Amino acid sequence: MTAWLERQIPKMVLAPSFVAVLIFVYGFIGWTAWVSLTRSRLLPKYDLHGFIQYKRLLASPRWDTAMDNLFVFGALFIGISMLLGLLLAILLDQKIRVEGVLRTIYLYPMALSMIVTGTAWKWIMNPGLGLEAMVRSWGFESFSFAWVIDPKMAIYAVVIAGVWQASGFVMALFLAGLRSVDGEIIKAAQVDGIPGWRIYSAIILPSMAPIFLSAFIVLAHLAIKSFDLVIALTGGGPGYATDLPATYMYAMAFSRGDIGQAASSAMVMMAVVFAIVVPYLYSELRAKHD
């Protein structure tokens, strides 16, 4: 009996967390999924009405903007962060004496809250007193930089702040990847007389494919969830020009009192995340079993 009890201890230790995850992750996803199929407005209703909320979502110009923004923001944020991160990593990989200091500088934004980042960039990009005013004071009177208040450009302002925050992190990932390439392969290539840039392009970068993938996944994940940055930088505005699905969902849930819309938009967000993450997780877990 005691031996049996002893064998159950590990399960009993894991059980509370497992139950919590079951309820608070899977149960809640189920709840949201259910509610997204009802006519819920201010209060949740539980009788199913098919895809009515999703139809409303598709018909909503605001949601349309949010999805467009997600793709523009996502593509630019991921693309630029990757390129910049890779460039920085390669530059730092050239036996620089002050590498440690530079690395610290490039990476510190990652330690900040997106609210702080948004606040700082909102001030820098402030048309009246920020960069615009500064460049004008240098004599370029016609210089204009008012992205944060321009509905067409505001989303690009969010991209700048996002890249500033996350690119250093991509740099750290890539740098670790560059350093983990088998030194003997590089030596062999050097002995073969292959020039340095060819060693990068033909040997080192291809061997880093998994790191590209990881960086992409992380950035995509950040892009889809990014909420704080938009709130702090533009508040979703001007109008709802910089709305993302995350801010749309929040607005529906907490200011518009439209629970059905909030639930269905959250489900779409989850679908997008899983479309990207699940194949990756699957391959990761499978690779571990081999």
Among 52, 107, 149, 241, binds another protein (CB under 8 A): 107
Determine if 207 is a binding residue for another protein (CB under 8 A). Answer: no
Contacts of 164 (CB under 8 A, 6+ apart): 109, 117, 121
Q: Does residue 114 belong to the site contacting another protein (CB under 8 A)?
A: yes
Pair 212, 280: CB distance under 8 Å: no
Pick one of 45, 54, 79, 99: the residue that binds another protein (CB under 8 A): 99
What's the min distance (Å) between Cβ of 244 and another protein?
Answer: 10
Taking CB under 8 A as the criterion, the residue among 46, 71, 123, 140 binding another protein is 123
**By CB under 8 A, is residue 232 in contact with another protein?**
yes
Contacts (CB under 8 A) with another protein, residues 135-194: 137, 164, 168-169, 172-173, 175-176, 178-179, 181, 183, 186, 190
* 10 near another protein, judged by CB under 8 A: yes
Identity of the residue, 40 or 65, whose beta carbon is nearer to another protein in the bound complex: 40
Please state, in angstroms and rounded to a whole number, the distance separating the CA atoms of residues 135 and 137: 5
Residue by residue, DSSP assigns 119-152 as HHHHHHT-TTTSHHHHHHHTT-TT----GGG-TT
First to last CA, the chain: 37
CB of 67 to another protein, least distance (A): 14
Number of residues interacting with another protein: please give it, by CB under 8 A.
110
Residue whose CB is less far from another protein, 7 or 152: 7
Stretch that binds another protein, among 61-69, 73-81, 149-157, 256-264 (CB under 8 A): 256-264
Tell me the window of 45-53, 60-68, 72-80, 120-128 that interacts with another protein (CB under 8 A).
Answer: 120-128
> Shortest gap between Cβ of 58 and another protein (angstroms)?
18
Q: What is the dihedral of CA 273, 148, 86, 284, to 10 degrees?
A: -10
Q: Which 22-41 residues touch another protein, going by CB under 8 A?
A: 22, 24-29, 31-32, 35
Those residues whose C-beta lies under 8 Å from the C-beta of residue 2, and which sit 6 or more positions away, are: none
Distance CA 47, CA 45 (A): 6
Distances (CA, A) of 20 to 16, 81, 93, 244: 6, 35, 44, 29
List the one residue from 131, 146, 153, 241 that touches another protein (CB under 8 A): 131
- Sequence letter at residue 225: K
Smallest gap, in angstroms, from Cβ of residue 50 to another protein?
A: 20
Which residue, 24 or 71, is less far from another protein as judged by CB?
A: 24
Site for another protein in 58-97 (CB under 8 A): 88, 91-96
Residue 103 binds another protein (CB under 8 A): yes
Among 72, 120, 146, 149, the residue binding another protein under the rule CB under 8 A is 120
Cβ 93 to another protein, closest distance in Å?
5
